Amino acid sequence: MIETICRTFLWTGSNEFSRKALIAWGRICQPKATGGLNVINIKILNKAAVLKHLLALAMKKDALWIRWAHTYYIKNRHIEDIHTHKAEAWVVRKIIEAKDEVMKMRTDQHSITTIRESFVKQATMDRLTKFGIQVQVDCIFCGKAEETFDHLYFGCHSTNKLWERILKWLGHTRLIGDWNHELIWISSMAKKKECKAEMITAAFAMVVYCIWREKNSMRFNKGRYNIDEVCKEIAMHIHIQGRKKIKWRSGLDYVNKLP
């Protein structure tokens, strides 16, 4: 309801219901850096607030309302096993029902391991061939091996070199392994809170994206791959992203040259 009023006001200047909307609300709520207006997404904010209460409830935080909910509703049961009932207080019911959201997130997390598989599904040339689309099966970067997911990330000398160069630029000289190896390495980086680790994680995402984009551009749009240009683009991206993060400032000073 509140969101509808905000949305209507943005497009019509009044609070009367209207279907006028030139850009999807989800897009408006995105950060300015990605083309949005940085408007708070009330639905997400509300979800986060409820989940915070659920966490407090699950952790049995020392608060009167939590003790009350445990005594009257939860009664030593596991929150996951509780089935809410309409007779229960609305607030408690909504908080407990938020567990479904958590369960969904858990399933999503499990499915992260299958992201690679879905990526492969899109990627591999044999899939396109199955649909009768005839394409060149050799790697578009080097032409020396079959284009498979494992070759693209990072079996191919060209893509391997890109990630190695970006890492070196960020002060990390190391031998690049295969996808699984790099994924484990970057996952451990992503858990760290230091500026350098955050920058490396952001750069990795950018490298993966750029390889994918360049591959498609070359294959379907006659694009040309230029490693210097891609390195420059990633460096710019890190600097632009870092400008908003105070924590990154010291790290950015070290990477003031191009990779």
Residues interacting with Zn ion, by CB under 5 A? 139, 141-142, 156
8 Å CB contact between 14 and 8 = yes
Q: Which is nearer to Zn ion, 80 or 126 (CB)?
A: 126
Smallest separation, CB 121 to Zn ion (Å) = 20
Smallest separation, CB 246 to Zn ion (Å) = 40
Q: Which is nearer to Zn ion, 88 or 150 (CB)?
A: 150
Smallest separation, CB 78 to Zn ion (Å) = 50
Determine the 3-state secondary structure of 17 from DSSP: coil
Determine the 3-state secondary structure of 146 from DSSP: strand
Determine the 3-state secondary structure of 196 from DSSP: helix
Smallest separation, CB 204 to Zn ion (Å) = 19
Q: Which is nearer to Zn ion, 41 or 148 (CB)?
A: 148
Distance CA 12, CA 176 (A): 54
Smallest separation, CB 235 to Zn ion (Å) = 23
Smallest separation, CB 223 to Zn ion (Å) = 16
Centroid of chain to Cα 195: 18
Q: Which is nearer to Zn ion, 125 or 139 (CB)?
A: 139
Q: Which is nearer to Zn ion, 123 or 199 (CB)?
A: 123
Q: Which is nearer to Zn ion, 178 or 194 (CB)?
A: 178
Residues 6+ apart with CB under 8 A from 223: 214, 217
Q: Which is nearer to Zn ion, 51 or 145 (CB)?
A: 145
Distance CA 190, CA 205 (A): 11
Determine the 3-state secondary structure of 38 from DSSP: coil
Q: Where are the alpha helices (DSSP H) in the chain?
A: 2-12, 25-28, 42-58, 64-69, 90-97, 99-110, 112-123, 125-130, 149-150, 157-169, 179-191, 195-221, 227-243, 249-254
Smallest separation, CB 62 to Zn ion (Å) = 58
- Crossing angle between the packed helical segments 99-110 and 112-123, to the nearest 10 degrees: 50
